[in-house]
Structure 1
Amino acid sequence: MSAAGTCTRCSWSRATTRWGRPRTGSPPAPDAPGRSPSRGPARPRSRQSNVLSDRLRVLVEEGVLDRVPYQERPVRHEYRLTPKGADLYPVLVALMNWGDRYAVDVPPVRLVHRGCGHPAEPRLTCAHCGEPVAWRDMTAEVEPDAW
């Protein structure tokens, strides 16, 4: 446990430390590079571009994405999911489902099952029996060797 009483070794804490906080940084201080007291601020860079670049960099560093060149002149890259990134898919779909239910009036994206062409609804199921499970249907058992 940390001084604040937060578990620093459990999976949830480690995952949210990596993905749960914004990686946008803070606005530059008045004496930051790019500002000159005599000439005013430097030409503004696109804040959205910087945020996207920072997020992509972190995802590459964490092994969630691979940065792959697809053009030589000028050099351009695309980002591809790694196996580690693909394992995040159920988490992202669950967050999207939650946002569709509570954060928007009309969901902007619909997931469709390629096999049958019908809308797909994410569900959590038991790996053993295949039955759907909700949070009340499970218990958390501590694995002593993990601590």
Structure 2
Amino acid sequence: VAAIIANLHDIVIILGFFAFFQWEFSLAVLAGILAVLGYSVNESVVIFDRIREAFRKFRKLSTPEVIDHAITSTMSRTIITHASTEAMVLSMFFFGGPSLHYFALALTIGILFGIYSSVFVAAAIAMWLGVKRDDLIKSPKKDHDANDPNAGAAV
């Protein structure tokens, strides 16, 4: 739920910029929005996977501490990934001509707000919803009775 809200946040921000400034909305802009959506989904998966790993690794930390550690540990990866992507998008913006102008503009807005939403919005909503260790890590299976012929059988 947190990742969905964070990804919708990115799309609403981009659409809001285009509506507020009355920029031209075309198929290229739609392609940019869909690219940002895919980019944000990937970033949310990375953040939440790191949260799951941190829950498994640091058993004594509280939920806010685990989320903080997960975000901190992904920061260098996030900065490098977004900076290299933004460098390419800015080159499209400045040298791509009028056909790529709004596409690159949508990507620039999406990349900048995608960092914010994946790191701060998604993780905060997950914490607000009460995510805890038991939600993300399977509890060990209990031993079944050795005399039960149906123990462990697939249903």
Do the structures match in fold with TM over 0.5? no
- Structure with larger RCO (C-alpha < 8 A, sep 6+): 2
TM-score (norm 1): 0.27
Structure number with the higher helix fraction is: 2
TM-score (norm 2): 0.26
Structure number with the higher strand fraction is: 1
